[in-house]
Amino acid sequence: MANSKFEYVKLYESDDRLLPRTYIVIRVDGRGFHQFSKKYDFEKPNDLNALNCMNKAAEGVMRNVQDVFLAYGQSDEYSFVFLKDTNLFERRASKLMSTVVSTFTANYIHAWSQLFPNNPLDGNFLPTFDSRAVMYPDVQSLKDYFSWRQADCHINNLYNTTFWTLVQKGQLTPHDAQTKLIGTLSADKNEILFTDFGINYNNEPEMFKKGSILRWEKLDHKYPKNPTKRQLDKYRKSVRDAKINILHCDIIKDEQFWNDVLAEEDTAATTTPTS
């Protein structure tokens, strides 16, 4: 209904375009997953299927939302980074956030039915996620963002592993385990695990200790500039067929990882549409 007398209402829509030439990171986080994990009886402290369900959902985002070149997830959260020069939805925050979080949720529910065939979702207790968008102005702040999330994973996982070992193997009540851990440093928790339970924390699964990184094997699926229908079909097929690698490496210290990822991002950025 163009030019109707009602059209003035469009003026109330705020311009929420994110700044140009910044790395846009969208982080999704499970809502009330403390309760959700109890309801569906997740293993403590880490449920392998639940983490794989998050990874599958994130893969769905990488494949369906163009220009996401890297993702990192742990516990009930996942972060997605867009190419610095992306012009998807004209960089409008609300469109980017809502597309990422709804694509993630849809894929999570789809993956759930495959990973938990004997534990179907209850219509009154469905998984939902919130999302936020943050802009990082340079590579250093982007690296620091990921380091922050991976450090969070490490701190929580070491705490949770020690806590649940004290409860499950040490027969402590949750209250006593919590009291025992007050004021302890990482070294103390490692010592408790090793001396009292013979567990070497270093041998715990890498996914639990470091979280999961998703990246394209090769960015050979660059979004064509002003694509024709044929080019668009070809692009969609290449994304569908492209391989996504899942890594559990140390992204805080590994300079090579960042050199590789950012070299790819640079190449892709030059072919990303800007209008």
Task: Return the number of other C-beta atoms located less than 10 Å from residue 232's C-beta.
Answer: 12
Contact 72, 251 (CB under 8 A): yes
Q: Which stretch binds ligand GTP (CB under 6 A): 36-44, 139-147, 165-173, 193-201?
A: 36-44
Instruction: Mark residue 87 as left, alpha or beta (left: phi above 0; alpha: psi -120 to 50; beta: remaining).
Output: alpha
Nearest-CA neighbor of 238 among 219, 225, 260? 219
Contact between 29 and Mg ion per CB under 5 A: yes
Backbone φ, ψ for residue 81 (5° rounding) = -110, 135
Q: Which stretch binds ligand GTP (CB under 6 A): 25-33, 86-94, 103-111, 248-256?
A: 25-33
Contact between 127 and Mg ion per CB under 5 A: no
- Tokens 């960015």 correspond to what residue? 219
Shortest distance, position 30 Cβ to ligand GTP, whole Å: 5
Contact between 29 and ligand GTP per CB under 6 A: yes
Choose among ligand GTP, Mg ion, none what residue 152 binds, the Cβ cut-off being 5 to 8 Å by kind. none
Among 26, 28, 33, 80, binds Mg ion (CB under 5 A): 33
Contact between 73 and Mg ion per CB under 5 A: no
The residue with its CB nearest to Mg ion is 30
Among 37, 86, 103, 105, binds ligand GTP (CB under 6 A): 37
Q: Which residues pair with 247 in a beta bridge?
A: 213
Contact between 152 and Mg ion per CB under 5 A: no
Structure tokens at 166: 């004290």
Choose among Mg ion, ligand GTP, none what residue 42 binds, the Cβ cut-off being 5 to 8 Å by kind. ligand GTP
- Give the contact letters, 60-99, x = binds to ligand GTP (CB under 6 A), - = no: ---------------xx-----------------------
- By the 10 Å C-beta count (0-12 exposed, 13-18 middle, 19+ buried), 91 is classed as buried
Contact 212, 246 (CB under 8 A): yes
Contact between 132 and ligand GTP per CB under 6 A: no
Nearest-CA neighbor of 212 among 149, 130, 134? 149
Choose among ligand GTP, Mg ion, none what residue 46 binds, the Cβ cut-off being 5 to 8 Å by kind. ligand GTP
Integer-rounded Cα radius of gyration of the chain:
21
Contact between 212 and ligand GTP per CB under 6 A: no
Give helix 139-168 / helix 174-181 axis angle, nearest 10°.
130
Q: Which residues bind ligand GTP (CB under 6 A)?
A: 29-34, 37, 42, 44-47, 50-51, 75-76
Q: Which residues bind Mg ion (CB under 5 A)?
A: 29-30, 33, 76
